Amino acid sequence: MTLHHGTFTIERNYPATPERVFHAWSDPASKQSWFACHDDWTSTGYTLDFRPGGHERVDSTPSESDVAHRYFATYYDIVPNERIVYAYEMYLGDTRISVSVATVEFEAAGDDTKFTFTEHVVMLDEYDDLDGREEGTRAGLENLARFVSAS
């Protein structure tokens, strides 16, 4: 049994106010529309209870596989339009493959939002794809850019 630790930070500027970008994270319908790193996967369930102590769950299946992927998050700290702190687990089928703590920061930058995402991840056992995790996160944040630009 092995552990693989990693940390990454992604900084972006979004052409929207912090209130608009925060709303994209906090509103269930908005978040479900952009929160994916693979557009060709089939969603099999989504829930969001956005409050400290609340949970989020995303279930999906890749188009080329029948192995379910599951994301389960718990929110710990929420300051509207400023920050979100949460922890989440990722599963392949019934196997937990990682546990992470993530922070999301929103800061006004003129009419835009300076956005900072930081994740501390522990990949479990044979799952050692830290680069893939960051790549997937970047893809999701690109979806967020398209979402806030179109709204």
Which one has a higher pLDDT value, 2 or 23? 23
Which one has a higher pLDDT value, 105 or 32? 105
Model pLDDT, residue 114: 97
Model pLDDT, residue 57: 95
Rounded Cα distance between 42 and 53, Å, is 28
Each residue's pLDDT tens digit, 38-91: 666 667 788 999 999 999 999 887 767 777 889 999 999 999 999 999 999 999
Each residue's pLDDT tens digit, 83-132: 999 999 999 989 999 999 999 999 999 999 999 999 999 999 888 888 98
Rounded Cα distance between 134 and 90, Å, is 14
Question: What is the chain's Cα-based Rg?
Answer: 15
- With a cut of 90, say whether residue 37 has pLDDT above it: no
Residues 6+ apart with CB under 8 A from 58: 35, 36, 43, 45, 46, 70, 71
Model pLDDT, residue 45: 81
pLDDT average, residue stretch 13-18: 96
